[in-house]
Amino acid sequence: MKQPARSSGTAHHSSRLRMHALARTLRHVALGAALASTLLPVALHAQQEESRAYTIPAGSLTDVLNRFGVESGLLLSFSTELTTGRQSPGLQGRYTTAAALHELLRQSGLEAVPQPRGGYLLRQAPASGNAELPTRLAAVRVLARRAGDGTTEDSGAYTSRVTSIASKTDMAFREIPQSVSVLTRAQIDDQKLVDINDALKLMPGVTVNRMNDNSFNFYSRGFQITSMQVDGGAPLALGAYTYSPLQDMAFYDRVEVMRGASGLLGGMGDPGGIINLARKKPLAEARTVLELSAGSWDHYRAMADFSRPLTEDGHIRGRAVVLYENRDYHLDHRSTERPAFYGVVEADLGDDTLLTLGGSFNRRKETGGGSGLPRYADGRALDLKRSTSLTQPWAYKDSDETEVFAQLAHTFANGWALKLNLTHSETDTEANTAFVGGPVDPATGLGVWAGGHYEYENQQDLVDLNLSGNFKLFGRTHELLVGADWQRVTSRWVASTFPGHWSDPADVLDSGGNWNPDRDVSLRNHLRYGPWGQEQVGGYAVLRLHPTDRLHVVAGVRASRYDFDQRVSSASSASAPWTTTSDLPFTLKTKITPYGGVIYDLNDAWSAYLSYAGIYKPQSLMLAGPPPGSGSLDPVKGKSYEAGLKGELYGGRLNATFSVFNVERTGTALLDARYPSNYDAWAGNCCYLPQGKVTSRGVDVEIGGELLPGWQIALGYTYNRTRDENAGNTFSTITPRHLLKLSTAYTLPGDWSRWKVGGSAHVQSRTLVSGSATINGADRAYDFREGGYAVVNAMVQYRLDPQWTLALNVNNLFDREYYERIGDTTNGNWFGTPRSAMLTLTWRQ
């Protein structure tokens, strides 16, 4: 199996577009061969003499051919001089490849000539009686760059043919024996998804739970997702203390999620799943995209995306994305101003080596803040407007987020591929907070103010190195991946509270009233949480055996080591020495994490699979008795079993998954009734026993891609039931038992092809949070419930001409009032965003 460096799209470099992952799965879909050792085509169902439906509007010949190349998977090579200034009537209806090309090139003076090893060469149509072939093709352009590395940009599709989330090599979805979902560039653009939180709200099977004004946690199958890869590298630690994922989608091609245990490539964590972000990379051709947006509550956003070959031969290519956003919110006293930049350069260091260097910078200046609404002491919800934020206009949060990365990919003469992926991420934040806490007195309507000054930072260093390739055994070809990764996270957090923190009364029914404490806290008592750090180092291997053409066996293993340290200190003043109040170093010896699966191809379109995956999660802050703690508990162990069917329909343009899953987590810390409890989220906690067992069972159904010509759809339904086996009740009450997510876009046919309509929907059953509240002078248990609800979004686009597009997106179209998160009587209750609209003008060249 040859693992290519990322294709540049230039003629010589295209020879590395080897779709080893698709070769087996799509063998009945007619692969094209190399073009004179310089061009390697992608899977070409359209090259067979079967017809397929197209809905491609008229426009410039370059744009029309580009869309045709993407939809058909056809490899076209031609001089850009040939197509400049020419128009095409487009394509409507069912055509074979030859008939489609004839229609597209009608009256253009050009013709497409089939090549002996596959693909088509575009040339000037010879004069009558002169069939002499050109001897040289200048400025060759390769279309259909998608496929080899899973790039979804320009595909217009709501699915991808390949993904690397489960193996760090490009695999078809049918080759992965777990549930995998992808959110493509087309979905991001159509639904106007701004950041990673917006994106995951549309991801099937994922629950997005707001923590504060701009911080979210992600859950799958009842468990938190704590690992996020970027370009398949070592994972960022999402649950790492002060780190909040806020990546802007303007910088990324797609988002992928694999649900279930992911310890093989994600290291430690819960058995919920893992996220992978794929960065945008330079294109082979020059491209400019400019975008201006204006929306509700003075939401303004401008984005420019430039991609260029930086040398005449195209061996060095660059891309830059610049954006500026200035917005208010539906919440009082809340606004954000944010400039951001992303840049990446690719360089071909020979025919078989690709070097990628890049980085991003994001500066956020936010006003306001908060922790959600409290409740009355008896558990009743407050009767407040959705715009109520219970903060102060002087509250702020300033953050700088910096990321730099480097990647090196080399393909050896024997087809084996070596990949190195390095990332350094850094976040620095300073904030003054102000929020109202509860419980709120039902008689007076009073809560209390809370707030202080905070400074915190988070740094993550990630390294991943792997080698992959094919080998022969018993007359058959098999695949092997071996690699190692390293993750180091360091954080600190310094906090000083304002006078009156958790004591000054707040008139909740009057938006809290005016709170103006002395904010010069530099000489007051303060706390320092940190240094906080964790380090993971691991080695992994994945073996894919193919005993027969239909039977495929996957086996994997990971060996990893984990180190952790968290220190808490206090000082009575800025000049006083720090006194350590808690210091808890922890080392976990080498742990082995297994992975295995069996896939059987039922026919050319459908496969059945069965898989097992494991993971572990340290409990370094949970101490065994007797007090003050005799040592950290053993790690939680997680494992997931999954079985299902996967289908690739319409030549891979539509993917479908039907699966059942069973997830177990054992060894969870439970209070040891023999000793008094002492819990501090930021220090060692005593006393616990590793006896808890949690199960999660359910069904996943997902369909994504082209349902009918011009109609893209991404539909996911999840039934999930979680259970705390020790307590005998539901484990994750914030996970809805029924969750349906839908996004769709339809390009109208014929004379209406300038219009595209669609939208998205989120439908879920009820959720709840349990706790206790003081009711009539006594502590009583409660269940705060949010009934099932549906939120519908709509979009309409109109293509003014081949370059300009105008789009209107309306979110929460029916203005449904609901809680997107339920908290407790103290805080954490967040209304969902009311109806809003965004108008976007886009220019592409």
Domain boundary among 66, 94, 124: 124
Neighbouring C-beta atoms of residue 776, cutoff 10 Å? 6
Neighbouring C-beta atoms of residue 708, cutoff 10 Å? 12
- Over 70: is that where the pLDDT of 599 sits? yes
Beta bridge partners of 763: 740, 790
Q: Residue type at 325?
A: E
Please tell me the predicted confidence (pLDDT) of residue 522.
65
Q: Is residue 248 part of a domain?
A: no
CA torsion angle 306 312 316 318 (round to 10): -10
Specify the DSSP element, H or E, that contains 285: none
- Which one has a higher pLDDT value, 155 or 793? 793
Q: For residue 9, which of 40, 33, 47 has the smallest C-alpha distance?
A: 40
Q: For residue 647, which of 634, 656, 638, 639 has the smallest C-alpha distance?
A: 656
For every residue of 443-481, DSSP letters joined together read TT-EEEEE-EEEEEEEEEEEEEEEEEEEEEETTEEEEEE
Report phi then psi at 173, rounded to 5: -60, -35
**Composition of the chain by helix, strand, coil, percent to 5:** 10, 55, 35
User: Angle at the Cα of 94 (from 93 to 97), degrees rounded to 5?
Assistant: 125
Please tell me the predicted confidence (pLDDT) of residue 42.
30
Q: What is the CATH number of the domain that holds 82?
A: 3.55.50.30
Quote the mean pLDDT of the chain: 86
pLDDT band at 682 (very low <50, low <70, confident <90, very high): low
3-state secondary structure of 388: coil
pLDDT band at 537 (very low <50, low <70, confident <90, very high): very high
pLDDT band at 218 (very low <50, low <70, confident <90, very high): very high
Report phi then psi at 798, rounded to 5: -135, 120
Report phi then psi at 28, rounded to 5: -85, 5
Instruction: Give CA 92 to chain center in angstroms.
Output: 34
Domain boundary among 124, 159, 178: 124
Q: Is residue 40 part of a domain?
A: no
Structural tokens at position 484? 């190692």
Please tell me the predicted confidence (pLDDT) of residue 161.
82
Residue with tokens 């055996």: 545
Strand order in the sheet with 435-437: 435-437, 446-450, 505-507
Specify the DSSP element, H or E, that contains 354: strand 353-367
Over residues 219-250, the pLDDT tens digits come to 999 999 999 999 999 999 986 667 888 899 99
Structural tokens at position 45? 């169902």
Task: Look at 141-155, 383-397, 600-614, 774-788 and tell me which has the smallest mean pLDDT.
Answer: 141-155
Beta bridge partners of 783: 770
Judge contact between 236 and 228, C-beta under 8 A: yes
Judge contact between 249 and 196, C-beta under 8 A: yes
Judge contact between 199 and 50, C-beta under 8 A: no
Beta bridge partners of 229: 276
User: Angle at the Cα of 485 (from 484 to 487), degrees rounded to 5?
Assistant: 160
Report phi then psi at 207, rounded to 5: -105, 125
Structural tokens at position 210? 């707001």
For every residue of 215-262, DSSP letters joined together read -EEEEETTEE--EEEETT-SPEETTSTT-----BGGGEEEEEEEES--
Beta bridge partners of 141: 78
- Which one has a higher pLDDT value, 706 or 773? 706
Judge contact between 75 and 120, C-beta under 8 A: yes
Over residues 43-65, the pLDDT tens digits come to 333 333 456 767 777 777 877 88
Task: Look at 559-568, 670-679, 835-844 and tell me which has the smallest mean pLDDT.
Answer: 670-679
Q: Is residue 495 part of a domain?
A: yes
Please tell me the predicted confidence (pLDDT) of residue 105.
85
- 344-371 average pLDDT score: 94
**Beta carbons within 8 Å of 98's beta carbon, 6+ residues apart:** none
CA-CA distance, 401 to 236, in Å (whole number)?
14
- Over 70: is that where the pLDDT of 705 sits? yes
Q: Is residue 273 part of a domain?
A: no
Structural tokens at position 256? 């992928």
Q: For residue 429, which of 132, 622, 677, 212 has the smallest C-alpha distance?
A: 212
Q: Is residue 2 part of a domain?
A: no
Please tell me the predicted confidence (pLDDT) of residue 128.
45
Q: Is 697 exposed, middle or buried (0-12, 13-18, 19+ CB in 10 A)?
A: middle
- Over 50: is that where the pLDDT of 41 sits? no
Structural tokens at position 86? 């020419």
**Beta carbons within 8 Å of 548's beta carbon, 6+ residues apart:** none
CA-CA distance, 765 to 737, in Å (whole number)?
6
CA-CA distance, 316 to 249, in Å (whole number)?
25
Between helix 97-104 and helix 61-72 the angle, nearest 10°, is: 170
Please tell me the predicted confidence (pLDDT) of residue 680.
72
Residue 90 gets the label, from left (phi > 0), alpha (psi -120 to 50) or beta, of left
Q: Is residue 161 part of a domain?
A: no
**Through-space distance between the first and last CA atoms of the chain, rounded to whole angstroms:** 37
Report phi then psi at 734, rounded to 5: -85, -5
Which of 36-50, 559-573, 650-664 has the highest average model confidence (pLDDT)? Answer: 650-664
CA-CA distance, 640 to 119, in Å (whole number)?
44
- Over 80: is that where the pLDDT of 706 sits? yes
* Domains contained in the chain, number: 2
Domain boundary among 103, 124, 145: 124
pLDDT band at 609 (very low <50, low <70, confident <90, very high): very high
Q: For residue 462, which of 241, 240, 253, 252 has the smallest C-alpha distance?
A: 240
Judge contact between 825 and 773, C-beta under 8 A: yes
Instruction: Give CA 400 to chain center in angstroms.
Output: 21
Judge contact between 476 and 521, C-beta under 8 A: no
Q: Is residue 20 part of a domain?
A: no
Judge contact between 836 and 330, C-beta under 8 A: yes
Please tell me the predicted confidence (pLDDT) of residue 201.
96
- Over 50: is that where the pLDDT of 779 sits? yes
Look at the chain and count its residues: 845
CA torsion angle 700 701 703 704 (round to 10): -20
Q: Is 801 exposed, middle or buried (0-12, 13-18, 19+ CB in 10 A)?
A: exposed
Judge contact between 185 and 250, C-beta under 8 A: no
Please tell me the predicted confidence (pLDDT) of residue 611.
97
Please tell me the predicted confidence (pLDDT) of residue 72.
75
Beta bridge partners of 270: none
Q: Is residue 787 part of a domain?
A: yes
Expressed as residue numbers, the domain containing 546 is 287-844
Judge contact between 43 and 22, C-beta under 8 A: yes
The radius of gyration of the chain from alpha carbons, rounded to an integer in Å, stands at 28
Judge contact between 230 and 405, C-beta under 8 A: yes
**Beta carbons within 8 Å of 610's beta carbon, 6+ residues apart:** 177, 597, 598, 641, 642, 643
